[in-house]
Structure 1
Amino acid sequence: MKTEKENKKFFPVFIDLSTKRVVVFGAGKIATRRAETLLSFAGELIVIAPACTERIAQLFEEGKLVYKEKPYDREDLYAADVVLATTDDTKVNEDIYSACKCLGIPVNTASNQQKCDFHFPGILEYEGVVLGFNGSGKDHKKVKEVREKTRKALEQIRKEEEKCEK
């Protein structure tokens, strides 16, 4: 028999980030994926890390986000509306989480799902509709699989609709 905690699900909430400052600490593979997803949603997207991926550098050069090449400093949190802690240093992620809790800033800690005010969903956009996929932190591979199946099904529907229009 599963415990209540094992059966826990997350309620999907869609929030308007278009006027919000989202700060991502870390600029590795996970941070890059999340930053790319946030680009079309966040009013201002800031990535802070001592080094970054080529993609983050490219997005910075294109003016799509702000990249600050520096280590984490608590002062970087003060103007944030939403924070993602995606560094490869657990202690830094823990400090970001603790500081955000004190400051009342919603935070997602990539290294510890127990220290998240929200989970980062798999996103699929289709004809102006945004779909979010989440497995309550239990099976990321399954979430990705369902998102991909949904994308393919929607593409097939679009193709069939185009055929009917001809």
Structure 2
Amino acid sequence: MEQNELYPIFLKVAALEVLIVGGGNVGLEKLTFLLKSSPSAKVTIVSVNFLPELIALAQKHNAKIIEAAYHNSFLEGKHIVIATTDVIEVNIQVYEDCKQRNILVNVADNPPYCDFYMGGIVTKGNIKIAISTNGKSPTLVKRLRQFLEEIIPNNINELAENINSYRKSTGGTFSEKVTALNELTKSLLIK
């Protein structure tokens, strides 16, 4: 059986420079997804054409819009790049240019040309859960996200805040704190 060997990581994208290449529906989807999770993300979008909805969203979040054809000079200072054009040759060029510069890249809907996938995300306050099918089924990711959004209680963030307060006020060694917190949270397991 194939196993998902992706390593989940939560990036502080407000401290990184993100480039989206393409201003159409897929670019809008990726920008929406990114800004929903990280509203203060630093994003630049480059494209020859832009959907009005993408422009409005970019302006709302102070994202930079550049109306131009892709050129590798747009990669300068970027940490993450997402290629979303409807021209496969452009997307592959973006991928190759990023690989030469050790920049993480995602070519939308083309798993062989991705260093990472943008999975489903469930957020309830400080609780954030990422979901991946290893690029196999975005539809399943969507359904799992909907399921988790329904079953995770809305007050879960309150619990996280209370546990954090307890954690800060608990004395002892690191090991003793871990033991105390494990004891406190073990009742969360549903048997």
TM-score w.r.t. the length of structure 1 is 0.84
| Cα distance, 1:60–1:87 mapped onto 2, change above 3 Å | same
More helix by share: 2
| Cα distance, 1:7–1:60 mapped onto 2, change above 3 Å | closer
**Aligned to 1:24, which of 6, 20, 24?**
20
- Give runs of aligned pairs for residues 86-105 of structure 1, distance below 5 A: 86-105=84-103
Runs of 4+ in structure 1 over 6 Å off:
none
For 2:52, the aligned partner's letter is: E
Q: Identity of aligned pairs, percent?
A: 25
Greater alpha carbon shift after TM alignment, 51-60 vs 136-145: 51-60
CA distance in 1, matches of 2:136, 2:154: 31
Is the 8 Å Cα contact of residues 56 and 67 (structure 1) preserved in structure 2? no
Equivalent residue number for residue 123 of structure 1: 121
Based on CA coordinates, which of the two structures has the bigger radius of gyration?
A: 2
Is the 8 Å Cα contact of residues 90 and 111 (structure 1) preserved in structure 2? no
Question: Structure 2 stretches of 5 or more lacking a match?
Answer: 156-191
**Aligned to 1:55, which of 36, 50, 53?**
53
Equivalent residue number for residue 83 of structure 2: 85
| Cα distance, 1:60–1:43 mapped onto 2, change above 3 Å | closer
Shift of 1:65: 1.1
Shift of 1:63: 4.7
Question: Structure 1 stretches of 5 or more lacking a match?
Answer: 160-166
Q: CA RMSD in A?
A: 1.7
Is the 8 Å Cα contact of residues 124 and 154 (structure 2) preserved in structure 1? no
CA distance in 2, matches of 1:116, 1:65: 23
CA distance in 2, matches of 1:34, 1:145: 18
